[in-house]
Amino acid sequence: MKSKLLAASGVVAVAAAALTGCSAGDAAESCTNEIVNPDATQVSVWAWYPAFEEVVDLFNQNHDDVQICWTNAGQGNDEYTKFSTAIESGSGAPDVIMLEAEVLSSFSIRDALVDLSEYGAAEVKDDYTEGAWKDVSSGDAVYAIPVDGGPMGMLYRKDILDQYGIPVPTTWDEFAAAAKTLKDAGAPGVLADFPPNGRAYTQALFAQAGSVPFDYDNAKPGEIGIDVADQGSKDALSFWADLADQGLVAVDEAFTADYNTMLVDGTYAIYVAAAWGPGYLQGLEGTDENAVWQAAPVPQWDASNPVQINWGGSTFAVTSQAKDPEAAAVVAKEVFGTEEAWKIGIEQAALFPLWKPILESDYFRDLEYPFFGGQQINKDVFLDAAAGYAGFTFSPFQNYAYDQLQQEVTAVVVDGSKDASTALDDLQATLETYATEQGFELK
């Protein structure tokens, strides 16, 4: 009985045990891949890219002095949790880690990342677009090397739109009209889904309407500007809330088994997606055999003044626990710095490269995608989207900001308990309180 009662504080024990013991494993000892040159400096890498093993092998074969020792420490939050724990305990982090651009600030503020400007980041700066570089840098500091991006476009079911005589929407007004046409025609599905847990997706749609939620510079980590209740965000959220209210779009949670099925079985005629979307769709089961997928640019608020947006994208950062930051920086800069590596990434894992030599190559521009019936989607859609993307600033408490955003969006589009304006005003207040509590000065 007594031990049962003591076990009541179990989470303390779990959390503390995770902090003290479990994280001390030495990543360098257990490589998933084989080391080609055992005498060379080994750099441990955490990454979850599909088909990454071949990229690692390629790197190891081409380098005599540095070798990658790769471990898959889980995807997204799973990896971040391990990394975060390793930072807290002071050991156990790899030398190089795959991070999405949105969490870079959250880790750099904890002094977990090495400023790569001291390790030759400038040499490769010109290999990336301005927007991509802005996502990984802050002032003069560079916290990671960009790898892949998520410029957004619109994937649509040509067969469904044709069946109901709906033209491909180019603006959000046309999008709303198309949703109504589809519903009035009694279609079994809806035009699209607006997932309340879309987080980065929602943020991207808001950004298209002019939202610049955070003003933050890693060089001055004590200050932050928060502006999440701007008119653009309010307009964008009311637009979707209005469609959801009329039943013209679904508000299913994204990335659940249900959602995955509905993406490919024709329930949603349009999937507003990032460049990695096709790769995601291809991996799903329950696909409609009659599906004819095509890609088009993302709808615009103002067709004469298009705004390109980005959803997701990953980078390689060097951690502050790296034993040899110089060698680690070589890995971060060069692992996806060859055409051969990128061909593996593009053809096997559907990654969208941010590395200009391949991004601007004829090979990538003219690549035909069988999934889209041979459409050259890069030329038609994603290259423009990537080129027009101006970059984005995330907050150093992005996970918290996303969780709060998700709750407010749920309140608006699912529960209907708040209107868009109130919800975003509440979000502003919540984030300001949080930032102040965390010791930030509000700009």
Partner 1 sequence: MTTQAVDAPASAPQRPAGGQRRRRSGIERRQNVGWLFIAPFLVVFAAFLVFPLVYAFGMSLFSSTLATGTKFVGIDNYLKAFTDPLFLGGMGRVLLYAIVMIPAQLIVAGVAALLLDTLATWLSKASRLLIFAPYAIPVVIGALMWSFLYSPRFGPASTIFDLFGLDAPNFLSSDNIFFSLVNIVTWQWSGYYMIVIYAALRAIDPAIYEAARIDGASGFQIATRVKVPMISSSMIMVITFALIGTLQFFTEPTVLRSVASGALPADYTPNMYAFALAFSYSQFNYAATIAFSLGILVFLGSFGFLFLTRKQNGLK
Binding site residues, partner 1, CB under 8 A: 1, 3-13, 15-17, 19-20, 77, 81, 84-85, 88, 106, 109-110, 196-197, 221-222, 253, 256-258, 261-262, 396-397, 399-400, 403, 406-407, 410, 414-415, 437-441
Phi, psi of 160 (to 5 degrees): -75, -50
| Minimum distance from residue 345 beta carbon to partner 1 (Å) | 28
Q: How far is the CB of 189 from partner 1 (least distance, A)?
A: 12
Q: State the minimum distance, in angstroms, from the CB of residue 7 to partner 1.
A: 8
Cα separation of 157 and 142, whole Å?
40
Residue number, 6 or 24, with CB nearest to partner 1: 6
What does the alpha-carbon distance between residue 79 and residue 292 come to, in Å, rounded to a whole number? 36
Nearer to partner 1, 221 or 391 (CB): 221
Residue closer to partner 1, measured from CB, 42 or 218:
218
Give the residue from 203, 243, 268 showing the smallest Cα distance to 408.
203
Output the smallest distance, CB 375 to partner 1, in A: 29
Least distance in angstroms from the C-beta of 237 to partner 1: 15
176-196 exposure pattern, b = at least 16 Cβ within 10 A, e = fewer:
bbbbebbbeeebebbbbbbbb
Residues 273, 153: contact at Cβ < 8 Å? yes
- 94 or 169: whose CB is closer to partner 1? 94
Q: 231 or 438, CB closer to partner 1?
A: 438
Angle, vertex CA 336, rays to CA 334 and CA 338, nearest 5:
80
Phi, psi (degrees; rounded to nearest 5) at 188: -70, -25
Q: Closest separation between CB of residue 380 and partner 1, Å?
A: 32
DSSP category for residue 305: S
Q: Least distance in Å: CB of 210 to partner 1? A: 26
**Smaller CB distance to partner 1: residue 16 or 35?**
16
Dist. CA 68–CA 238, nearest whole Å: 48
d(CA 373, CA 380): 13
Among 295, 270, 264, CA closest to 367: 295
Cβ atoms 226, 430 nearer than 8 A: no
Quote the DSSP letter at residue 128: B
Give how far Cα 114 sits from Cα of 69, 95, 254, 265, 334, Å.
Answer: 19, 10, 34, 45, 17
SS3 category, 154: strand
Question: CB 132 → partner 1: shortest distance, Å?
Answer: 26
Nearer to partner 1 by C-beta: 225 or 388?
A: 225
Interatomic CA distance for residues 124 and 261, integer angstroms: 41
Q: Is the Cβ of residue 154 or residue 411 nearer to partner 1 in the bound state?
A: 411
Residue number with CB closer to partner 1 (407 or 422):
407
- CB pairs under 8 A, 24+ apart, for 33-38? 33/57, 33/60, 33/68, 33/69, 33/70, 34/60, 35/60, 35/67, 35/69, 36/60, 36/61, 36/67, 37/63, 37/64, 37/67, 38/67
The least CB distance from residue 350 to partner 1, in Å, is 24
Which residue, 89 or 170, has its beta carbon nearer to partner 1?
Answer: 89
**Beta carbon of residue 168, minimum distance to partner 1 (angstroms, whole number):** 27
